[in-house]
């Protein structure tokens, strides 16, 4: 079918088969891999009623066009996630928790950010269309299934989208190593969006100016900053920690 897509790697394929087995059309497995992990996956997929094909590695390489696949590739139907922020808000059952990525272009970083966002319970990830990576096969593999559960919304005008979030009562918290406050000093129990900058360059000027708070992550060693995906994990889980504290 024209809308089908490929997922590559053990984690990505298993996550989709668990979440929505009916969306998995067929799985291709490397014939040269006869280890326990592959045998267990094959048996499990057959138990789920999923069609499997054992093929040579060259066939898998052709399907994925160079993407690391670990000997596992699935042909799947796209899942219906929210396509815009209005849809996201329509389905929220708790205080908005959003991640904004201002210009993350490395697919490994995006995949890791999406994986962490899913684990932390983020409602959606927002990024600009002109300065961000899309949901490539590399992103899908690194995200380990999170691209299928967390809406990734790419917008034409990020500044306008940030203003719309503020109009909805969402506080924007950005990271800046020069900020006087640490991330632990800002109340994160209400509606909020974390705004993370791009690799190296950080947030753009207008994005920074739209933030309600700027905070820094305390650094105790010799390095000056963290990788964006690591910094995202630190920030998101500070929100998770605060939201789990007993009400005062």
Instruction: Evaluate whether 243 touches 189 at the Cβ level (below 8 Å).
Output: yes
How many other C-beta atoms lie within 10 A of the C-beta of residue 12?
Answer: 29
How many other C-beta atoms lie within 10 A of the C-beta of residue 235?
Answer: 23
Find the radius of gyration of the CA atoms of the chain.
Answer: 20
Q: Angle CA(67)–CA(233)–CA(5) in degrees, nearest 5?
A: 30
221 annotated as ligand-binding:
no
197 annotated as ligand-binding:
yes
226 annotated as ligand-binding:
yes
Q: What SS3 string covers 157-186?
A: CHHHHHHHHHHCCCEEEEECCCCCEEHHHC
Which residues line the annotated binding site for S-adenosyl-L-methionine?
197, 217, 226
Which residues line the annotated binding site?
197, 217, 226
């Amino acid at each position: 079918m024209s809308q089908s897509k490929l997922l590559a790697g053990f984690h990505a394929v298993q996550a989709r088969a668990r979440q929505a087995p009916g969306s998995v059309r067929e799985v291709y497995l490397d014939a040269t891999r006869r280890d326990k992990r592959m045998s267990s996956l094959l048996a499990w997929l057959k138990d789920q009623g999923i069609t499997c094909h054992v093929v040579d590695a060259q066939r898998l390489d052709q399907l994925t066009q160079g993407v690391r696949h670990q000997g596992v590739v699935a042909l799947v139907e796209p899942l219906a996630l929210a396509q815009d922020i209005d849809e996201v808000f329509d389905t929220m059952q708790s205080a908005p928790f959003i991640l904004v990525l201002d210009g993350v272009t490395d697919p490994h970083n995006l995949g890791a950010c999406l994986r962490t966002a899913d684990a932390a319970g983020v409602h959606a990830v927002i990024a600009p269309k002109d300065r961000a990576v899309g949901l490539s096969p590399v992103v899908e593999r690194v995200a380990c299934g999170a691209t299928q559960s967390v809406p990734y919304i790419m917008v034409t005008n990020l500044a306008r989208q940030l203003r719309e979030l503020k109009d909805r009562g969402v506080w924007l918290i950005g990271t800046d190593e020069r900020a006087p406050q640490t991330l632990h000093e800002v109340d994160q129990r209400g509606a909020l969006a974390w705004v993370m900058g791009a690799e190296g360059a950080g947030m753009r000027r207008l994005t920074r100016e739209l933030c309600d708070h700027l905070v820094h992550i305390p650094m105790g060693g010799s390095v000056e900053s963290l990788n964006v995906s690591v910094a995202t994990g630190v920030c998101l889980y500070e929100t998770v920690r605060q939201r789990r504290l007993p009400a005062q």
